[in-house]
Chains A and B, each alone.
Chain A
Amino acid sequence: MRKISRRRFLHTAIALGGGLALPRLYPAKAFAKEVWGANSAQAKRFLTASHWGMYNAVAQNGKLIKIEPFDKDPYPTSMLEGFPSQVYAATRVGHPAVRKGFLEKGAGSDRSGRGREPFVRVSWDHALDLVANELKRVRKKYGNASIFSGTFDWQSAGMLHNAGAITRRLLGMYGGFTDNVGDYSVGCAMVLLPYVLGGEEVYSEQTAWPTILDEAKTLVFWGCCPMKNCQIGTHPSDHYLYGAIEKLKAEKDIDIICVDPRFTDTAKHLGAKWIAPRPNTDTALMLGIAHEMIATNNYDKEFISKYTSGFDKFKEYVLGRTDQTPKTPEWASKITGLDGDTIKDLARRLKSERTMIMAGYAIQRADHGEQPYWMLITLASMIGHIGLPGGGIGFSYHYDNGGDLQANAPDLPGISAGPNPISNDMPAARTVSDMLLNPGKKFPFNGKTMSYPDIKLVYWAGGNPISHQQDINRMLEAWQRPETIIIQDPFWTASARAADIVLPATTGFERNDIEVCGTYSRQFMAAMPQVIKPVLESRNDYDICAAIAKRLGVEEKFTEGKKDQMEWLHSFYAVAERNAKAMKVTMPPFDEFWKRGYAEFPIPKSSKKFVTFSAFRVDPATNALGTASGRIEIFSESIAAMKLPDCFGHPTWIEPVEWLGSSKAARFPLALVSPHPPHRLHSQLDNSELRKTYEVAGREPIWINPTDAKARGIRDGDVVRIFNDRGQVLGGAVVTERVSRSVVCMHPGAWYDPAEPGKVGSLDKHGLVNMVTLDKPASELSQGNVANTALVQIEKYKGAAPPVTIFQPPQMIEM
């Protein structure tokens, strides 16, 4: 296996004092020269793409040996370097495998053996027959609703081998299955924002960066680190953000403020002013600002009256007329830990000149996570810059390069899941624990009462729920409930290890596919040609599901009579060609596109001037928002009418279930935040050589403030134990001023490595932060997850730290 460039990574490690890797902004040439050296003339290059962008995969003698940047990507991510070692990792699932107990006893097996028992290698036919027979058995005995597939599938990019769509397609055609709705990223926002702004906003194009560079005077990153997250995208990232950031850095007359318990990579790179409220108190901070604006008569009354609805009711609350508690800066100071003057200054600063607020998803991944988003929109309305160039508010600058410039490009479809006759969709974050544990339980969701189905079979492809779910110990208990668990994945993830049947899937390098590069720009269409043969016995997601479809009698419907992958890709491309023709856009014939590896589309000048909500601002009657009133709803009659205990008619400070101000902080005095990792995609790539560049003492890093570290005798580089009543996990201490006092920061996705496999409550030796996070709905409105609401304690790990063993495959036996 190829060794990672030591020199380069050493450079990073020194810069960060052994801490977390920064997304690096190396121009393509420097990247290629520094990392890859000179001669690779014998090798064959394939231009391809995945969530990390477009790049060249280099193969020699049938092996993927390295990745080189695409010359049209000026800011390739260093994560690309992890791919070769990931593809050939020891944790690759080489062959179909069945848990020993399941192979012996089937659905009647001892399910506590999941994650503990060895696996038995079986033939593909045996594995596929088993899967088909289990689906038939469960459907016949319990009905289609007892089959669950909640796959989010970040595993694969590509319009065809989209494991989530393909498994849904298969199960939908077989009579349906219980699906989920929403996701773990924007659980609160997705439900709330349609009531407040009329649409979802979190996944939509943002006001273009050039207007910000031209017009903004104040730019606030509120729990938002675009430089970290834009390395990857839903569709391949075009890394537009990094060019914009460099221009922003050169702009001397834009004040940049970072509101965050971390001094983020973006804030550090830009030299931003850092304001660090206690985690989960953002709503209180903004209420203090709103009170100051009202008290000083310094807010945009015209905007409020023309474009919003219900401000008066909110104002009564802010002034304390409804609850005898005026939300003064002093009141906010006690909750947030910031001093009152900072809050007053912020009120003046935000209102004085053109202000853009960029919000990340983190603040709504918290208890009552609807409130900070609703309050930010209210605050932006009081500032009054929504719909103006370079001003207002945006919720996707950290995601998919929001603010990117939209090309004049035809749209490209992908394979569809199609209809699912079972329509009882479950809110995403409640499925893998709460639903499995509580069949029949009734619960409120977005104004309705729903009830959990009794799940007997789980089929999950291209995802790793025993990583992204909060409170893993609760989940491990829940995971023992279904009779059958099927996982389809290229790697021995924690979820695969705790499955009954494991189907080895190919990676993107082993199959043909097609993508759009730049979710919002759509500047490129990218070919994703097969670079190497499938590793060991792995098969393509599409082919696996087609083989199961055949056994279930729905093959013809599933394949639509198409004979292979390329026929599908041709059909997607043909739709794009039709779209291009209607738009009068030139597009190369498929063969030319495939040979060249990409098609590029022009960016019209008008894209630079794109401003969200501008049409609404110009004419709010004709271009009314999708809310009940057609305006921004600071008060929502619809939500108020639900009479919920934890989400009222207007943004409200509601104390989180646990936070630094609660009595629980006496036992667990540190607030834990777990934002998206900078050095991998969720749990993807943790099993690559990249791991060695960011781990501390062989564990997932955890940031801790020097004062907190000193009080516990913890030094930089120590192995520490992070724990609370929910679980315990080891990490590697990074002692840094970049996280505020009484706060620790650990990124999710480190592979779960239990000291006692299969045991609920085991110590995780390696660093999956979700061992200690909380599994609770954010509110009865959204049922969103609360990943950033958690209190923990930390201690220096005593004795010799146990070796990490999760990067070896599980035990395989012959039977």
Chain B
Amino acid sequence: MESRLKVPYFMQFLAISCFALATPLRAEVVGNKTFAYPSESTTLYSSATGSGAFGVLSPGTSLQVTGATSNGRLPVKIEGWSMANEPSMIFLAAGKRILELRLSASASPSQPRKGKTVVLYGVTWKPVSYAGWVNSSATVPKIDAVWKAASDLYQKRCSACHGLHRPKEFTANQWPSVLSIMTHNAALTPEQAALVTQYLQRHAKGQ
């Protein structure tokens, strides 16, 4: 499962006290952190204004809200893992390629995060984090609604030609390939396919 960064207590306190009142409607509080989730592929901007972007966030990615909304944008932080040989993609877990954030070529490198690196099949995975801004309107406060919509779409479109393949039938790594060859038959738009892929990956079998 996703390992979240342990933030020093005083910083948590600071964060909470700073935007407790400003906590946007589009966020949920888990423990002492506040989260929001993109309901579709969403740009991660480099600031509260302007079109400068770091990359694209996948639907359903946990965004830790780190401050108050400004100009309709939320300051957020993403925690994940990236491969030493391919730092432009941040995944949910080491060896599990559930893409959270794809950085653009010009984006600054991700920040190292506390934790040990992991070597899997000769590839070094590092815990990293990344901060930026998202349009508040592109996020929802509860992840369940995102997955419900994805599940409904999946069950509707992917049961026309064959018995439905259950999410647990394939691993998180396998699902993108398995689904991608079927997106035409299912008449899924690229955006819908991205959403369904994330849903399936996050509800997949372990190994």
Contact = CB atoms under 8 A, between A and B. Distances in A.
Interface of A: 159, 162, 164-165, 168, 179-181, 183, 194-195, 197-201, 203-205, 234, 309, 410-420, 423, 425, 446-447, 519, 522, 575-576, 579, 582, 619, 621-622, 624-631, 638, 641
B189 A199 contact: no
Interface stretch (B28-36, B59-67, B109-117, B166-174): B166-174
A309 B163 CA distance: 32
A416 B155 contact: yes
B169 to A, nearest CB: 7
Interface in B8-53: none
B97 A411 contact: no
B201 to A, nearest CB: 10
B187 A630 contact: no
A622 B123 CA distance: 12
B187 A417 contact: no
Interface in B84-107: 85-86, 88-89, 95, 97
B163 A425 contact: yes
Given A199-B174, A626-B177, A414 B160 contact: yes
B4 interface: no
Contacts of B156: 416, 418
B149 interface: no
A183 B173 CA distance: 23
A624 B163 contact: no
Contact of B173 (A419, A619, A630): A630
B178 A626 contact: yes
Contacts of A201: 181
A419 B152 CA distance: 8
A416 B160 contact: yes
A281 B143 CA distance: 51
Contact of B159 (A416, A447, A628): A416
A423 B207 contact: no
B83 interface: yes
B75 interface: no
A64 B111 CA distance: 71
A650 to B, nearest CB: 15
A417 B181 contact: no
B187 A579 contact: yes
A577 to B, nearest CB: 11
A168 B163 CA distance: 8
B137 interface: no
Interface in B145-201: 155-157, 159-166, 169-171, 173-178, 180-189
Contact of A199 (B157, B178, B184): B178
A782 to B, nearest CB: 13
A215 to B, nearest CB: 23
Interface residues of B, number: 41
A418 B184 CA distance: 18
A626 B176 contact: yes
A200 B178 contact: yes
Given A194-B177, A626-B175, A579 B160 contact: no
Nearest to B84: A621
Nearest to A619: B86
A198 B175 CA distance: 8
Contacts of B83: 621
Nearest to A522: B184
A165 B159 contact: yes
A162 B160 contact: yes
Nearest to B163: A179
A629 B174 CA distance: 11
Task: Give the dominant DSSP class at B's interface.
Answer: loop
Given A411-B186, A411-B187, A638 B160 contact: no
B164 A420 contact: yes
B165 A181 contact: yes
A626 B88 CA distance: 18
Contacts of B165: 181
A641 B206 CA distance: 13
A181 B167 CA distance: 13
B157 to A, nearest CB: 6
B160 A415 contact: yes
B181 A199 contact: yes
A159 B95 CA distance: 39
Contacts of A446: 169
B95 A194 contact: no
Which 4 residue pairs of A and B lie closest in terms of their CB atoms, listed nearest first? A199-B177, A411-B187, A204-B181, A417-B159
Nearest to A447: B207
B187 A198 contact: no
A275 B81 CA distance: 50
Given A411-B186, A414-B160, A419 B181 contact: no
A629 B122 CA distance: 9
Residue among A414, A626, A638 having the largest count of chain B Cβ atoms under 10 Å: A626
Given A165-B160, A181-B169, A621-B83, A413 B178 contact: no
Contacts of B188: 411
A198 B201 CA distance: 13
A667 B194 CA distance: 57
Contacts of B178: 194, 199-200, 626
A624 B159 contact: no
A168 B171 CA distance: 25
Contacts of A630: 97, 121, 123, 173
B121 A629 contact: yes
Given A412-B187, A629-B121, A638-B207, A198 B174 contact: yes
Contacts of A417: 159-160, 163-164
Contacts of B207: 447, 628, 638, 641
Contact of B155 (A309, A419, A627): A419
A737 to B, nearest CB: 39
Contacts of A199: 174, 177-178, 180-181
A375 B11 CA distance: 56
A301 to B, nearest CB: 16
Contacts of B184: 411, 522
A418 B156 CA distance: 5
15 contacts: A179-B163, A198-B173, A309-B121, A417-B163, A420-B159, A522-B184, A575-B187, A576-B187, A621-B86, A626-B176, A627-B173, A630-B123, A631-B121, A638-B207, A641-B207
Given A309-B121, A630-B121, 19 more contacts: A159-B160, A181-B169, A194-B178, A195-B174, A197-B177, A198-B174, A205-B181, A234-B161, A414-B161, A417-B164, A418-B159, A419-B155, A420-B164, A423-B166, A425-B163, A575-B187, A626-B97, A626-B174, A638-B207
Given A411-B184, A416-B155, A628 B95 contact: yes
B105 to A, nearest CB: 12
Contacts of B120: 629
Residue among B89, B164, B189 having the largest count of chain A Cβ atoms under 10 Å: B164
B85 A621 contact: yes
Contacts of A197: 177
Nearest to B121: A629
Contacts of B166: 181, 423, 425
A165 B161 contact: yes
Contacts of A195: 174
A419 to B, nearest CB: 5
Given A194-B178, A416-B155, A626 B121 contact: no
A625 to B, nearest CB: 7
Contacts of B95: 628
Residue among B85, B160, B163 having the largest count of chain A Cβ atoms under 10 Å: B163
B174 A183 contact: no
Given A411-B187, A575-B187, A628 B157 contact: no
Contacts of A159: 160
Contact of A622 (B89, B159, B169): B89
Nearest to A423: B166
A183 B86 CA distance: 38
Contacts of A619: 86
Contact of B181 (A200, A425, A579): A200
A622 B187 contact: no
A628 B42 CA distance: 27
